[in-house]
Amino acid sequence: MTAVLDGRERGSALGIVVAVVLVGVNLRAALTGVGALLPAVSAETGLSSAWGGVLTALPLVVFAVLSPLVARALRHGAARLVAPAMAGLVAGLLIRSAPGLPLLFAGTIVLSAAVAVANVLLPALVRGSVSGGRIAGVTAAYVTAMTAAAATASGTAVPLSEHVPGGWRTVLAGWALPAAVAATVWWLRRPGAVAEPGAVAEPVVVAEPVAVAEPPARVRIPWRSPLAWQVSLFMGLQSLGFYATISWLPSILRDNGISARDAGFYLFGFQVLGLLALNGVPVLLRRARADPRLLAAAASVLDAGGFLLLALAPRLAPVAVVAVGLGAGVCLMLALSFQSERAAGEAEAAALAGMAQGIGYLVAAVGPLLLGLLHGALGGWTAALTVLALLTVLQVAMGFGAGRPATTPALSLPSGVRAGS
């Protein structure tokens, strides 16, 4: 049963959604513009193509290493950690844009670490601040902001770099501005920053019963939970498909006779379709009462069909891109929602998100490399895309398991306190 909110509480609920969306804006925009600007970066700094590949893969490696560790810092409270994470992102963006190759890589590591922290905190904040029925909607809001900002960053990077003083350095540093705004908002919203006399801090759109205690002193990653592994592998496999598509779709299309300009248009369309699809998930779950297990399985099958079309009938590339774009958008939305919905509370959501994103980004980093190696060894894309489709079949099974109505084991709480369901 969801508590009824008065006018002030509704304003507070809207405030937390806006604050979460502000963080979402910064989760990918700092990264996606680099690929488009890499030729300019290489021309100015002398960065080789091999080291350029390292630069673009570095954030995924940092995500994979740090994500499982972030949950352990939750003893300080998720809301207290967002402002430092955003401040770290500002610092990393500015360091990356400073002269010198060492600072280029150092800044990338710093900003990637900050994004890794925020990646894990958001599912915990959503789980701790909104009722179960609203999780998908709030998740869709910040994922939409994340995707739209990422598309904007990649689409405007080159034109802006040609017209602003400082070129690519100014463009990359410019994303420090929204990060600074997010840091300021969360600093002002930190627990205890603005408290009325006698006010009691509590989640803003709550489900009953609700925990009123601080998170447990020790947060443990649920390595032994089958459900946690299903959520994590679903996250990993959908990430593999997404990053493989982002990395190789233009090359696949160009090798099949499509111009570079049209290949870029297809890639843009892939992202737009994903954005549209992910916003349909909350509607399907809440209004149509769709079973998330069937939705995850259907979207994964759509992905697999698109990859097979690209492999076996490349002339049907428009149909294939539509299928993969829609499937990827739904799967991304579900993968992030599961990290909140399959947890018993805020601390459990942070632990589950840490595990899911650690595994997810590790798999994502390996996936594009695997496709590239298969293409290089066999001289074509058919085998690589077929392997990708087969992995997506495994994604069907993981999505069906992750979508079942269950939660990971609750972490220990002080006596007399119950976690929100």
Looking at residues 35-60, what average pLDDT do you find? 81
Omega cis (within 30) before 59: no
pLDDT digit string, tens, across residues 237-284? 999 998 888 878 878 888 888 886 787 778 878 888 998 998 888 888
Q: What are phi and psi of 205, to 5 degrees?
A: -130, 90
Residue 178's identity, in one-letter code, is P
pLDDT digit string, tens, across residues 322-350? 999 999 999 999 998 898 889 888 778 88
Question: For position 40, what pLDDT does the model report?
Answer: 84
Q: How confident is the model at residue 194 (pLDDT cuts 50, 70, 90)?
A: low
Residue 172's identity, in one-letter code, is L
Of 75-79, 224-228, 278-282, the range with the highest mean pLDDT is: 224-228
Could you tell me the CA-to-CA distances from 394 to 102, 301, 365 in Å, in that order? 40, 10, 18
Half-sphere exposure at residue 291, Cβ-oriented, CA atoms within 13 angstroms: 9
Residue 115's nearest CA partner among 146, 137, 140 is 146
Q: Retrieve residue 207's tokens.
A: 């489900």
C-beta separation of 183 from 62 below 8 A: no
Question: For position 132, what pLDDT does the model report?
Answer: 64
Which position has the token pair 């969801």? 2
Q: How confident is the model at residue 209 (pLDDT cuts 50, 70, 90)?
A: very low
CATH of 223-407, one of 1.10.287.130, 1.20.1250.20, 3.30.479.30, 3.20.20.70: 1.20.1250.20
Looking at residues 340-368, what average pLDDT do you find? 84
Beta bridge partners of 2: 207
Residue 53's identity, in one-letter code, is G
Looking at residues 390-404, what average pLDDT do you find? 93
C-beta separation of 274 from 325 below 8 A: yes
Beta bridge partners of 242: none
Residue 335's nearest CA partner among 210, 243, 224 is 243
Question: For position 28, what pLDDT does the model report?
Answer: 85
Kindly indicate whether the domain formed by 1-190+208-212 is annotated with CATH number 1.10.1740.10: no
Buried-exposed string 372-382: b where 16+ CB fall within 10 A, e elsewhere: bebbeeeeebb
Q: What is the pTM of this model?
A: 0.73
Q: Is 223-407 in the same CATH topology as 1-190+208-212?
A: yes
C-beta separation of 243 from 369 below 8 A: no
Percentage of the chain modeled with pLDDT above 90: 35
Looking at residues 115-142, what average pLDDT do you find? 82
Which position has the token pair 């259907």? 298
Mean pLDDT, the chain, rounded, equals 82
Contacts (Cβ under 8 Å, ≥6 apart) of 159: none
Q: How confident is the model at residue 2 (pLDDT cuts 50, 70, 90)?
A: very low
Least confident range from 82-86, 120-124, 235-239, 302-306: namely 120-124
Question: For position 156, what pLDDT does the model report?
Answer: 81
Contacts (Cβ under 8 Å, ≥6 apart) of 415: none
C-beta separation of 362 from 383 below 8 A: no
Question: Could you tell me the residue ranges of all domains in the chain?
Answer: 1-190+208-212, 223-407
Question: For position 61, what pLDDT does the model report?
Answer: 87
- Rounded Cα distance, 190 and 77, in Å: 10
Question: For position 216, what pLDDT does the model report?
Answer: 47
Alpha helices in 48-100 (DSSP H): 49-70, 78-96
